[in-house]
Amino acid sequence: MNETTSNTSTTVADIVEQASQAVDNIVENANTALENNEIVQEAKSWFSEETIEKLWEFLPSLIIAVLTVVLGYLFTRAVCKFVIKALEKRGTDPSVYRFIETMLKLFIMTMIVASALSSLGFDLSGLTAALASAGVALGLGLQNCVSQFISGIMIIFNKPFKKDDFIEVKGVMGSVNNIHIMYTEILTVDNKKIIMPNSDLTANHIINYSAQDKRRCDLTFSISYGNDITKAKQVVLDTVEKDTAALKDPAPVVLVSAHEASSIQLTLRCWCLTENYWDLYFRLQENVKVAFDSNDISIPFNQLDIHVINK
């Protein structure tokens, strides 16, 4: 019994010893492999005293570069917020100032990153030259788009009109629906949407009917040569004074504007609020005709007198 136990103990000890030798061999082989591995040797060279000294010398520049980017980012956000608030106060279309915000962020952050790279010792002269050449080529290829963009910026800051203004340009008349950075949407009185490039708006005369709060309404009426001019003028004035949309100050006036071949032309000039213009215009056209009929004032047709001479 004791002999069996002794044999078993000897066998276990041998196994443990063999396992220990195997582990030692594995560790030794692993160390040998690591020492012979080029990547490991290169990694060790990275952490040499000379490398650590260089990294320590480079550390202040790295910290300055990181701080430049971080502070520059915060500065960019503050500038963009200020610009957006200024544009919102001016009533600029949201799509426009969001585009300006993006472009502003891109421009400022590009300058900040370039400054940070320069502080780290990177030579950006080649990159700057390449970007300049690319910018020139891109500008020539997108000349029309650049023109639209600059025109959009001019409209935003010069503000010749704003959203919902009633304007006329190049024979197009309607309300401004939206102002975009490249084009402007105009809704005509019959609800047609017209997309007009911004360069057309800045290069042509713009009539803004909504720029002032008051507008003069001019109407011309024809009466016969046989009618009483004074009576006809008074009928027109009475008709205008009954309309609440016509302002009392300035007072409306009726003038004889022309002696035509078949009629005398009476011109009415009265003032109204800009938003009431078209309602007053069409209403007076009808009401004056009704008043003329009630007072036996005729609106003549074109007439031609023929004289026959007997020889």
Could you give the domains of the chain? 50-141 (1.10.287.1260), 160-208 (2.30.30.60), 214-294 (3.30.70.100)
Contact in structure between 288 and 219 (CB atoms under 8 Å):
yes
Percent of the chain with pLDDT over 70: 69
The residue that leads in pLDDT, 305 or 222, is: 222
- The stretch 26-51 carries a mean pLDDT of 57
pLDDT band for 137, please (50, 70, 90 cuts). Answer: low
Token look-up 């030259």 returns 129
- The stretch 127-152 carries a mean pLDDT of 67
Angle at 136 between CA 132 and CA 140, to 5 degrees: 165
Question: What's the confidence (pLDDT) of residue 89?
Answer: 75
Q: Residue 179 pairs with which residues in a beta bridge? A: 184
Q: Give helix 49-89 / helix 94-119 axis angle, nearest 10°.
A: 160
Token look-up 């490039």 returns 197
Question: What's the confidence (pLDDT) of residue 112?
Answer: 81
Nearest to 218 by CA among 281, 147, 279, 302: 281
Could you tell me where the DSSP H helices lie in the chain?
Answer: 2-36, 38-46, 49-89, 94-119, 125-141, 143-158, 198-203, 229-242, 277-294
The residue that leads in pLDDT, 129 or 70, is: 70
pLDDT band for 131, please (50, 70, 90 cuts). Answer: low
pLDDT digits 0-9 by tens, 184-211: 999 998 999 999 998 888 888 999 998 8
User: Based on C-alpha coordinates, what's the Rg of the chain?
Assistant: 44
Q: Work out the end-to-end distance of the chain between its first and last CA atoms, rounded to an integer number of angstroms.
A: 175
pLDDT band for 2, please (50, 70, 90 cuts). Answer: very low
Question: What's the confidence (pLDDT) of residue 74?
Answer: 86
